[in-house]
Structure 1
């Protein structure tokens, strides 16, 4: 024991020393690296922002900016955090132009950022932060780690030795408890001594038994000292024969027919000529195993084969078809209209229908065919064929059997079916492949007017392409491959940019630039639209805040919200989070909804819209006139804007009926005091007509295509420079000046749209 204790002591000392070193050094090192990286990132961000702000001042005052020291100091003093940070602006000669008043302790971490004017560097901005707090926390962590390391070292040095001593004590206690455990076993335990009878045979003499062997297996205390052949009429003779000349463990199953019981005998040598036999009653286990085996291969509700047994039967059928040179059809059934019955009438009614469907199918298939239920409302029939035409006949026959009405709970309900068919060997050579392809064909049979459909390779190709696109969309979210473009919305009276619509785009490394029409429908079908919509909303708010901070005039940001996103997500919470994170005024945010999403759940929709309205968010209806246009929701919902769909704008100048529709929409909107926006404006004639008819805002290629952020900022900057500002004598606008705009030469007040940029 002393030798083992010394070995354990050496091992634990080495281990404890290594762990103590790790606890002392690693946390402090990790903190310092992370804090340093964070500080570097913050300095980079702050420096870039301040460099842009100063750059904006330089662009605005290209010659006098160096002399605006007070304004420069004010700009350098702006920051998004409370951490002390020194900022110094140097000219190209290294002379200090302006600096913030913050005092920071050495040592310092500094970064330099160039300030440009028209692409030329005109100054350098140096941003510095103190490393002193980080070093102090690192030192504190080092000290705490040292204390923890000392404690761990002490514990690791003493615990193993105590464990060894405890193990020796436990061993002694286990010997004392052996008898109590032996007596309390639920299994019967009988100890035998091996006694030689001849040179080749040995007999087993009973030496001891526990209470379970007496009460459960019929042993008696008087049996001690008897040979194993004399016990219970020689029932244990197979154990003696199995152990002859075999010192290994023996497991036998014995049946006690008189009592109707089955038990397992586990006999194993214990040394010194002793043999132990452990007896376990497995009668109930055998019965349960038989029941489980039945459940493992058959559906508990319908009594049909389940998936596991179906695959086994298909293996045999494929082998027979291969030997006989015939074909085999796999018909995959899916019930139509079953889910509404389950939802409205309850699962008990659904179970009755499934049982009746199984009965009808069972009475319709041939004896040599295989019928199974995969689960839910999916069934499979496997049949051998002479020609592929037979599969059509089988499908039509089964559909005729399934189509009659079902009587459930005193009501008559109709349940149809869609069938997908795959044929061996052309559509697959394994059960799994045939089932998968039949399943693919079944989904194509769901189309209107189709009841059954044969599998084709094109179906699988489309499914794989859809699956790949779905996978690429999730990866695109993770890799931040999405970006926004912005299409200006023009004020029809003033010609100014009144708003911009944020449009999501996808730049895929493999597919290149992907337009929304290619991925938005799949994103809505798979639910990816929810995280994607949240990203678009937060990104648009963040960009708007950056533009305002850069000196742009306030404009409205319009964000499209899909019906799936609106109904399946906590949109109000997302809007509040986006506003809180970006700091943007929600009065500048407009959410565009489609008509179809407004009518799905009127009460929930109204609650969400009024909540958004309470946040001061504008609500717009996109593509108005193409969905379920209704004056009811225009009246009851807090709608601010109507956007006329481009389909009506395209021929508004050529077709009288299109003009009538557009005039009616504008008239209704004006009567209800709603703001009207026309999208898809592509010609001057369209712009003039819509402006004269009272349309408030115009959007389309006539003015601007969707623009990148950089190009949009250029447009806003150029527009601001074109505006002529004069003292406000007739009325003061929002900015304190009145803007002069292009108007009607005759002075009749009719609006004239601005020319495209």
Structure 2
């Protein structure tokens, strides 16, 4: 294979050298007898002059031969450099690198130097100089075109293909350049033939004159022997150079680090295989030469490109194919195919690169780009693309689709109490559970955090059972790292096309419906209604304005006094947050507090209210004879996520307020959401000397067990119960029960919302002496509290009921 794949340009050079040797050998045979006869018959007097002339002619012929040989060497180097450059250019154009490749630069200076070196051997011959000038011009044009194509291929990979007209022009110029080199070599051979012929003619004349002289004949014979020795030496060097070229091109095929084979186009058999191709596919080279291309290449599973039987009739190019190894493993090969001739037959040269690992890496990157790493579900980006395709199909088929937005309830508590590792494991199990419930009925995605999206058939007979199954699946306990966790979900649904005709609208409206499900008690599903969008817009507006108000110091704290109804003494005041906006007017706390909790802004606001209340209470209590306690509401988010004890400690230290004069009001719901954390926090606060009250007692869990566990200081009767006093006997019974619980557990008791004397009298008769409400005072500014306390102390106590 190495001989057949040798340098095609080296063969004409070898043939030319053999032709010169043959001419000289034939002439030597014909001239032996005439030279001998002339040497004998020639006059001895002419011997010296003829010998000198003959010597001069021989020196001239030898100098011409050396010049021609030097020119041929320079042309050989030029030809080899052009071949190497053309091969490198095709490599740059024809293959896509998987690593950074050095920039391709056409070796113009080196090529011009070779041409100039050859031109210096012309020795003033005009034709020789002109031909080499033409060659240099062709090299410059070829270089400009090569650099332009290489630059285009590197800047825009794949933009230069075998169909590119400029590449055809490049090949045409390349072969014209090769032809020009051959023309110059032939011209040099012709020049050498002329020199040899002229030298031979002169030698014949000299021989004819020296025939008469034996000495002249002997000298002439020795000269010829010497000349033949030099020719033999020159031929040996030429053969050695040709052998070097043969080995070089053998290395390019047989020892190439890339797998290469040649396929006969007619029989589709492999007719030449290099060692790397055999190694890559696990065969011996001899075994592969018995195979057809179809035994190795899997046409039907080609990743790119047309089947070989079709591709081979078109232009050369590259494609990625699957190849089966001897062991049955599939390897992906990037194949460069080039039409060529092999032993007089049309064949295809295939140079291959194993890209199995690269394709696997690309597939992994695609998977990471489309799927969530934690849960394995489709991610947000890929889900949006899938939804767009589903919407297009539904539009054509007139089908209804459902966008299901599922958000886990209280998931942050798991992260905060057990850590993110447990939270991540919980999300992974929830994802599997949702995926199992949905199955083939829809596509599931993790949309972000603890949010999951499902796109499914929106027909009611199919959708409602799916929603019920999702809720049921969420209520089952989950075992994670030794913890038994209970998680619930709120679900919102929007329908296509009724609730939106694009993915963004459907997701937005499903989110609004999910928010409604959370507002209505969680662990349920709600369908989107148009008014939800208005509510969402209003929430967004309130949230934005509230952030601005908090940042600009536009929030205020008022204080509602708390009294001992039996003595008329003011015993404390509850801090109440108020907000009046330039655009929205006076905004009710019932409106903006839930928004603050939803956005997390309540943590910053709550800390500010705590510090403000402590500062004002410290000012009220400059007279220790009339202590006034301040009560501050604590949001569940402050309780769960903030460093509440640290905040309280800093607020007391900075204000100088005694801990016993600070009371924190916590709702039942906040305590029960994280009972372990609540118990630890309450214990720490009470160790500091801070009092704790349960706000709105009786509206939530109202469990005697948790009251005993948490050990608070005071219970607060909700205003809803107080409002019904004198109107609803059942509500009055609940109020009496709360009073009884407080007395049994030795808790202090205070009622809020006391607005009438009837409220006051009922509470006093049944043992609740502390109250706050409009009967005594509205919420007032911090500056008015001291005056109210002083006036209350100066008034006589009310008559007992």
TM-score range, shorter chain: 0.5 to 0.7
Cross-structure match for 2:631: 558
CA contact (8 A) 2:597 2:637 kept: yes
Distance 1:475 1:498 in 2: 35
CA contact (8 A) 1:507 1:514 kept: yes
CA contact (8 A) 1:402 1:417 kept: no
Distance 2:375 2:642 in 1: 39
Alignment counterpart, residue 430 of structure 1, candidates 492, 499, 502: 502
Cross-structure match for 1:542: 615
Distance 2:789 2:488 in 1: 60
Matched, 1:510 2:583: yes
CA shift for structure 1 position 665? 4.1
CA shift for structure 1 position 538? 0.7
Cross-structure match for 1:201: 173
Cross-structure match for 1:289: 362
Number of positions where the alignment pairs a residue of Structure 1 with one of Structure 2: 488
Matched, 1:684 2:656: no
Cross-structure match for 1:709: 782
After superposition, the Cα gap between the structure-2 partners of 1:474 and 1:264, relative to the gap in structure 1 and judged at 3 Å, is: farther
CA contact (8 A) 2:663 2:691 kept: yes
Alignment counterpart, residue 593 of structure 2, candidates 503, 509, 520: 520
After superposition, the Cα gap between the structure-2 partners of 1:600 and 1:423, relative to the gap in structure 1 and judged at 3 Å, is: closer
After superposition, the Cα gap between the structure-2 partners of 1:615 and 1:433, relative to the gap in structure 1 and judged at 3 Å, is: same
Matched, 1:465 2:538: yes
Tell me, which stretches of 5 or more residues in structure 1 are unaligned? 1-184, 206-219, 237-251, 266-278, 366-370, 384-389, 724-740, 745-750, 753-757
Distance 1:407 1:536 in 2: 39
Distance 2:706 2:665 in 1: 15
Deviations 1:466-494 (A, max 9, x none): 23333333333212222111111122232
After superposition, the Cα gap between the structure-2 partners of 1:636 and 1:398, relative to the gap in structure 1 and judged at 3 Å, is: closer
Distance 1:301 1:606 in 2: 33
Cross-structure match for 2:555: 482
Distance 1:549 1:679 in 2: 27
CA shift for structure 1 position 308? 4.0
CA shift for structure 1 position 526? 3.6
Please state whether the residue corresponding to 1:639 is helix, strand or coil: coil
Please state whether the residue corresponding to 2:459 is helix, strand or coil: helix
CA contact (8 A) 2:717 2:751 kept: yes
Cross-structure match for 1:378: 452
After superposition, the Cα gap between the structure-2 partners of 1:393 and 1:449, relative to the gap in structure 1 and judged at 3 Å, is: farther
Please state whether the residue corresponding to 1:202 is helix, strand or coil: helix
Structure with max Cα Rg: 2
Distance 1:565 1:599 in 2: 14
Deviations 1:232-260 (A, max 9, x none): 79989xxxxxxxxxxxxxxx968899997
**Pairs within 5 Å for 1:668-679:** 668-670=741-743, 672-679=745-752
Alignment counterpart, residue 616 of structure 1, candidates 676, 680, 689: 689
CA shift for structure 1 position 499? 1.3
**Pairs within 5 Å for 1:77-96:** none
CA shift for structure 1 position 540? 0.6
CA shift for structure 1 position 523? 2.7
Please state whether the residue corresponding to 2:362 is helix, strand or coil: helix
Alignment counterpart, residue 595 of structure 1, candidates 668, 675, 682: 668
After superposition, the Cα gap between the structure-2 partners of 1:636 and 1:362, relative to the gap in structure 1 and judged at 3 Å, is: closer
After superposition, the Cα gap between the structure-2 partners of 1:281 and 1:466, relative to the gap in structure 1 and judged at 3 Å, is: same
CA contact (8 A) 1:563 1:597 kept: yes
Please state whether the residue corresponding to 1:695 is helix, strand or coil: coil
After superposition, the Cα gap between the structure-2 partners of 1:377 and 1:701, relative to the gap in structure 1 and judged at 3 Å, is: closer
After superposition, the Cα gap between the structure-2 partners of 1:363 and 1:428, relative to the gap in structure 1 and judged at 3 Å, is: closer
Please state whether the residue corresponding to 1:201 is helix, strand or coil: helix
CA shift for structure 1 position 631? 3.8
Cross-structure match for 2:459: 391
Distance 2:696 2:478 in 1: 44
Distance 1:302 1:666 in 2: 51
**TM-score, length basis structure 1:** 0.52
Output the aligned Cα RMSD. 5.3
**TM-score, length basis structure 2:** 0.50
Please state whether the residue corresponding to 2:591 is helix, strand or coil: helix
Higher strand share: 1
Distance 1:352 1:591 in 2: 38
Alignment counterpart, residue 577 of structure 1, candidates 650, 654, 657: 650
CA shift for structure 1 position 392? 2.5
Distance 1:501 1:487 in 2: 5
CA contact (8 A) 2:494 2:527 kept: yes
Deviations 1:345-375 (A, max 9, x none): 997897678568657756457xxxxx45355
Higher helix share: 2
After superposition, the Cα gap between the structure-2 partners of 1:574 and 1:399, relative to the gap in structure 1 and judged at 3 Å, is: closer
Matched, 1:628 2:714: no
Tell me, which stretches of 5 or more residues in structure 2 are unaligned? 1-97, 112-134, 139-171, 179-242, 262-316, 326-330, 337-351
CA contact (8 A) 2:438 2:444 kept: no
Q: Which moved more, 1:222-231 or 1:434-443?
A: 222-231
After superposition, the Cα gap between the structure-2 partners of 1:627 and 1:510, relative to the gap in structure 1 and judged at 3 Å, is: same
Deviations 1:519-549 (A, max 9, x none): 2233334433222221111101111223345
Distance 1:590 1:377 in 2: 37
Alignment counterpart, residue 602 of structure 2, candidates 517, 526, 529: 529
Cross-structure match for 1:647: 720
Deviations 1:218-237 (A, max 9, x none): xx99689879999979989x
**Pairs within 5 Å for 1:43-192:** none
Distance 1:542 1:440 in 2: 40
After superposition, the Cα gap between the structure-2 partners of 1:537 and 1:197, relative to the gap in structure 1 and judged at 3 Å, is: same
Distance 2:137 2:260 in 1: 22
Distance 1:497 1:523 in 2: 31
